[in-house]
Copies of this chain bind each other. A is one copy, B any other.
Amino acid sequence: TQTYNICLLPGDGIGPEIIAEGVKVLNALGAKYDTTFEYTEALIGGCAIDAAGTALPDETLRAAEASDAVLLAAVGGPKWDTTDPAKPRPEQGLLGIRKALGLYTNLRPVQIFNALAGASTLKPEIVDGVDMMIVRELTGGLYFGRRERFYDEAGCGTDGAAGQRAYDTLEYREYEVERIARQAFEAARKRRNKVTSVDKANVLETSRMWREIVHRIHDEEYADVELEDLLVDNTAMQLINRPADFDVVVTENMFGDILSDEAAQITGSLGMLASASLGDGVALYEPSHGSAPDIAGQGIANPLAQILSVEMMLRYSFDMQEAADDIRRAVTAVLDEGWRTGDIKDAETPADKLVGTAAMGDLVVSHL
């Protein structure tokens, strides 16, 4: 019997409710495939700030590092919103664990389940066949560069008076671009063999360097993969114009944050999209959506993105491809039968049957 230790980070809002359904699915598959999943739960985000004064307690980081994979739900909520740089913020938990575990590759698959094709605000013929993988650099750029805010400097306020001034730094080093480019080309080889590299090379120096390095890695190591460059503003347009044309999209951290959410919305069902954050060691899996504090505690949140993040964990961390396929098949079947949580229920389809978080988890388990 193989044993895996999974670090569970429920976080805030609907986090605890949806992660419970991920665990249900893991346990069911453990039984089926003679694998034992053991769990260590730890605090991250707002709940960690409340309990320990910091969004990423040392204990949590140690639990994550000691595990075979991390399953995260979501962090944040209005309770902890602040613009005071001196106060802790839930997102620091997320950013901190990404950096500490060296999770430089964020994979966000964007696909549409047939049963939910109508949920998109785009026309059916436009979203038909959408199947892309956004490869976002996750430990560099504006997210981790030097930043500061000063006060009192002359020339910053109106009419040359004193005022505030702030900066953030977008920085990349050659090896950071090389390794994310390789991840993108590797992903493309397992898919439709095409990479779109997104930058703003007509303005940013980091983008010009990015473009050169991506092309060098391509020419030297992946000449068999089709590569195109697209400016970030143009990409924001083309994702809406011809989303089905994209295969792998690789880009730096901030552009990736914006474009992956845009691409997710194209499906119309954000509650269905999972993500994997990979480095050279332990990896982390989470839904693409947030902590939805407005519906927390009501048992109505959609657990499917969390369950599909378990699918990614089985694929990427444990190489359990059959078990991963089981999850995908089960989720597809449950949707085909018309079971829906509130966020994906279509008011105009009477055949849709509304269920809550736990019932949805049970339905998936029943199809495994």
Which residues on B sit within 8 Å (CB–CB) of A167? Answer: 145, 169-172, 205-206
Mask: chain A, 137-179; 1 = CB below 8 Å from B; 0 = not: 0000011010111000001111100011111111111110011
Which residues on B sit within 8 Å (CB–CB) of A91? Answer: 202-203
List which A226-279 residues lie within 8 A (CB) of chain B: 232-234, 236-241, 254-255, 257-262, 264-266, 268, 270
Interface residue from B200, B213, B261 paired with A234 (Cβ < 8 Å): B261
A interface list, Cβ under 8 A from B: 76, 83, 85, 89, 91, 95, 121-123, 126, 142-143, 145, 147-149, 155-159, 163-175, 178-179, 200-206, 208-209, 211-213, 232-234, 236-241, 254-255, 257-262, 264-266, 268, 270
CB <8 Å contact, A165 and B171: yes
Which residues on B sit within 8 Å (CB–CB) of A126? Answer: 121
- 10 residue pairs bridging A and B, Cβ less than 8 Å apart: A83-B209, A147-B205, A156-B175, A163-B174, A164-B174, A168-B205, A170-B170, A232-B258, A241-B268, A255-B258
CB <8 Å contact, B241 and A85: no
Q: Closest CB-CB distance, A186 to chain B, in whole Å?
A: 16
With CB as the reference atom, state the residue of chain B lying closest to A118: B123
Instruction: Say yes or no: A163-B173 contact (C-beta < 8 A), given A211-B83, A262-B262.
Output: yes
Report Cα–Cα, A164/B23, bound state, in Å. 44
Which residues on B sit within 8 Å (CB–CB) of A261? Answer: 233-234, 236-237
Report Cα–Cα, A210/B16, bound state, in Å. 33
Q: Which 10 pairs of residues, A with B, have the shortest CB-CB distance?
A: A163-B174, A237-B265, A236-B262, A147-B205, A83-B208, A233-B261, A167-B171, A156-B173, A166-B209, A164-B174
CB <8 Å contact, B95 and A203: yes
Q: Closest CB-CB distance, A247 to chain B, in whole Å?
A: 19
Report Cα–Cα, A202/B75, bound state, in Å. 12
Interface residue from B123, B168, B204, B270 paired with A121 (Cβ < 8 Å): B123
Q: Closest CB-CB distance, A129 to chain B, in whole Å?
A: 14
CB <8 Å contact, A155 and B173: yes
Which residues on B sit within 8 Å (CB–CB) of A268? Answer: 241
CB <8 Å contact, B169 and A85: no
Instruction: Say yes or no: A142-B204 contact (C-beta < 8 A), given A83-B211, A261-B234, A262-B237.
Output: yes
Q: Closest CB-CB distance, A234 to chain B, in whole Å?
A: 7
Which residues on B sit within 8 Å (CB–CB) of A239? Answer: 262
CB <8 Å contact, B156 and A174: yes
CB <8 Å contact, B168 and A204: yes
Report Cα–Cα, A266/B270, bound state, in Å. 19
Q: Closest CB-CB distance, A124 to chain B, in whole Å?
A: 9
Which residues on B sit within 8 Å (CB–CB) of A158? Answer: 174-175, 178-179
With CB as the reference atom, state the residue of chain B lying closest to A203: B143
CB <8 Å contact, B174 and A165: yes
With CB as the reference atom, state the residue of chain B lying closest to A238: B265
Interface residue from B166, B211, B266 paired with A171 (Cβ < 8 Å): B166
Interface residue from B89, B203, B205 paired with A202 (Cβ < 8 Å): B89
CB <8 Å contact, A147 and B204: yes
Report Cα–Cα, A173/B260, bound state, in Å. 30
Report Cα–Cα, A75/B338, bound state, in Å. 52
Which residues on B sit within 8 Å (CB–CB) of A174? Answer: 156-158, 163-165
Report Cα–Cα, A202/B87, bound state, in Å. 12
With CB as the reference atom, state the residue of chain B lying closest to A259: B236
CB <8 Å contact, A240 and B237: no
Which residues on B sit within 8 Å (CB–CB) of A122? Answer: 121-123, 240
Report Cα–Cα, A172/B166, bound state, in Å. 6
